[in-house]
Amino acid sequence: MRLQHPWFRFVTVHSEDPRGPAQRRSANQPACKELRNGKVATPGAMEATMSNSPTTPNPHIPASLPADVHYGFTRYGLEQMIHHIHPIPLGRGFTAAFMSKNWPGLSLSDGMNAAKSAGVLKRNRQHFAGVGVRVVVKELHILHDGSTRVVKFTRRELSERAD
């Protein structure tokens, strides 16, 4: 079957073949791929790496939090929260899913208001949101009473990051 729309003029849909792409694979083509380092990647080999199992640390949340912290953000978590301000993830529900997965009970507007009041955001005209995370910010903690705490990089850590 050939699609008639001009965008699809080079696409052919095989509706007569009910088998999926795995069954259409020829018999001599292996089901695994040899990588450059000589290891073999099987279909289930990356499952543990890609899943959000408890053994995989969440890069958005600090590894260890004090007892008085309700929500914790790493620098990467703050950057990803800013990234989710865009209208496409907001409109499609990706932002709500991202926030509920990483910080259950916290909305995007509450997280952004806390980051703004803590002073961890700076103006960034290169980013579509117009804001970015200050260079010295390592973590942001939202405490149980609603106040915030900012953990900053030391001078040594900043110089190591620059290298």
The residues spanned by each domain of the chain are 69-162
Residue type, 71: Y
Model-level pTM? 0.62
Interacting residues of 72 by C-beta distance below 8 A, sequence separation 6+: 61, 62, 65, 139, 140, 141, 142
Q: What pLDDT score was predicted for residue 162?
A: 67
Share of the chain above pLDDT 70, in %: 64
pLDDT digits (tens, 9 = 90+) for 89-118: 889 999 999 999 999 999 999 999 999 999
**Is pLDDT at 22 greater than 60 in this prediction?**
no
